[in-house]
Amino acid sequence: MELLLFGQEGPRVLAFPPTDCHLTGWEDHGLVTGMRELLDKGQLQFCCLDSFDQETWSLARPPAERALRQNQFDGYVFNEVLPFTLKQNANPQVIVAGMELGGYQALNFGFRHPERVTRILSMSAVTDIRPFIDGYYDETVYFNNPCDFLANEHEPARLEALRRLDVILAVGAEDPAYATNLRLSEILWRKGIWHALRVWGGKANDWQAWLGMMSLYVWGHD
């Protein structure tokens, strides 16, 4: 697996690309340039990861295999990417950010490992993977579907860790993922997990809107 690093200091941003996009997507479509001032000042570091969608939710393989590969990808980010970025930059703050299925990856990783993440920024994110599994369901699917495992979370230590997270859900009112982002927001409120739901007018699932979201929300909520 390849990855790209931009910047040397500051909070480490694990940057997941949108659906089926290459790891150069953030650079090619202006997000790196748009955040260049913060990167150059040592106030952010981007670690751009490659898409794994063709191994998981985008590929026409049996759903059980898709879920298994997703679990393996989660292990790769946890066991390889995080330690690697820490060696490059000892800043303790970790932001996971992504769009569409990359937004799903940010949500899934952040909610599965809240003790290792400071902030989640999802943009036009897929929040429920059940449409990708053709009616199949097992334990691996469950533990990789935020709308499911969060709805049933009851372990006190896990809930305490989740409530420490800084969570921003940014979505356009006409985005395909709008309804499921609202559903995830409702689940989070029921569990006492504070977060910011930021609804943009019209469609916001494009690079220009995502740059605007990054500029506003990578540090704050407004």
Q: Could you tell me the fold of the domain covering 3-217?
A: Rossmann fold (3.40.50)
Q: Where are the domains of the chain?
A: 3-217
Residue-level pLDDT at 221: 46
Q: Is the Cα torsion angle 131, 136, 142, 148 positive or negative in sign?
A: positive
Of 125, 32, 111, the closest CA to residue 78 belongs to: 111
Residue-level pLDDT at 181: 98
Q: How far apart, in whole angstroms, are the C-alpha atoms of residue 144 and residue 73?
A: 11
Q: Is the pLDDT of residue 166 over 90?
A: yes
Residue-level pLDDT at 222: 45
pLDDT tens string 5-33: 999 999 999 999 998 888 899 999 999 99
Band of residue 56 on the pLDDT scale cut at 50, 70, 90? confident
Q: What is the DSSP letter of 108?
A: H
pLDDT tens string 115-165: 999 999 999 999 999 988 888 999 999 999 999 999 999 999 999 999 999
Q: How far apart, in whole angstroms, are the C-alpha atoms of residue 29 and residue 155?
A: 41
Q: Is the Cα torsion angle 191, 193, 194, 200 positive or negative in sign?
A: negative
pTM attached to this predicted model: 0.96
Is residue 131 packed enough to be buried (19+ CB in 10 Å), middle (13-18) or exposed (0-12)? exposed
Residue pair 132/66 in contact (Cβ under 8 Å)? The answer is yes
Of 105, 23, 15, 124, the closest CA to residue 57 belongs to: 105
Residue pair 215/162 in contact (Cβ under 8 Å)? The answer is no
